[in-house]
Structure 1
Amino acid sequence: MKRFLFDCGTRDPLASTGLLVLRASFGLMMLFGHGIVKWQNYPEMLKMWNVTPAIWPLSTMSAPMSLMATIGAEVFASALLVLGLMTRPAAFILGFAMCVAAFQVHALDPFFSKGGAAKEMAVLYLIPAFVLIITGGGQWSLDAALHNDDKRRRRR
């Protein structure tokens, strides 16, 4: 379980620097651009929020619970990404939220924005989540500090 939650993936310094930039920029943009805004405007958001994932058992959630789950993903999972802590599970949670946003909330919207709502932004946030699920947080993450596995990655 520790390996699943805290494996950092690559320890190559150059690749890890790229992953740090990706994690930090993706996490901070999601945190400040979406998560904290929803958290601060919770009462107003609740009045117009009617989204629940169309996947059982999540489809049984109420709209307020769905909004709280979305805020949790956009605030807490984003903060975990910035820290590089539990990177893969946090990226999965954000990726799932972006799949719901792109393919359910914006299902009827065009893919590219022409001044209105579109799938484009949700898919653009989905791409780094997918990359981080595959690669992990890299050497410059808290995952790397917590999970030292020298047996798997030996330098020659």
Structure 2
Amino acid sequence: MNQSFARWQPFALSLLRFITGLLLLQYGVAKLFKYPPVPTFAKVELFSLYGAAGSLELILGALLMLGLFTRPVAFILSGEMAFAYFLGHVFKGATPVWLPLLNGGTLAIAMCFTCLYLATSGGGPISLDRVLRRDR
């Protein structure tokens, strides 16, 4: 059974990369283009902290989906997600709330470490990095 699953590992890596990029891209679209309308992102301006995060998520999420410059893109996104967790979740109120279940930061942590993994493992066999021979 291990050999059967191991055979699919490279393709699962490409799928993980694509889905992670898609999830980040949707946040960028919601923040910058207000679609779909999410009340939290209704007043996001381009030249604000949320706007900068949305720009990173939109552009780098698309690059991640394509598998282009996967390692540096994923590393930057990992840092952005760590930044988002500490600025947007831990210090929401007057008192810091460290438990992700209570501060709503579970997804930010999961995306941070998923992107960190992608930064170390690359884009997988179905990626533009592989096609352009940047990542072997």
Whether TM-score is above 0.5 comes out as: yes
Counterparts in 2 of 1:13 and 1:67: CA distance versus 1, 3 Å: same
- Identity, % of aligned positions: 32
For 1:82 and 1:148, the matched residues in 2 are separated by: 16
Corresponding residue number in structure 2 for 1:124: 110
Q: Which amino acid aligns with 2:60?
A: A
For 2:66 and 2:111, the matched residues in 1 are separated by: 18
Q: Which amino acid aligns with 2:59?
A: F
1:95-148 deviation digits (Å, cap 9, x = unpaired): 11101111222122342335xx42211101112101101100012110011116
Structure with the largest fraction of helix? 2
For 2:121 and 2:70, the matched residues in 1 are separated by: 9
- Greater relative contact order, per chain length (Cα 8 Å cut-off, separation 6+): 1
**Equivalent residue in structure 2 for 1:89, among 50, 69, 72:** 72
CA RMSD of aligned residues (A): 2.4
Gaps of 5+ in 1: 1-11, 47-62
TM-score by length of 2: 0.76
Report if the CA contact (8 A) 2:44-2:51 is conserved.
no
Counterparts in 2 of 1:110 and 1:148: CA distance versus 1, 3 Å: closer
Over 4 Å off, 4+ runs: none
1:12-55 deviation digits (Å, cap 9, x = unpaired): 963320111101111111212x1100011377123xxxxxxxxx
- Number of aligned positions between the proteins: 120
**Tell me, what secondary structure is at the counterpart of 1:139?**
coil
TM-score by length of 1: 0.67
1:31 equivalenced with 2:25 (yes/no)? yes
Which structure has the greater CA radius of gyration? 1
Report if the CA contact (8 A) 2:31-2:42 is conserved.
no
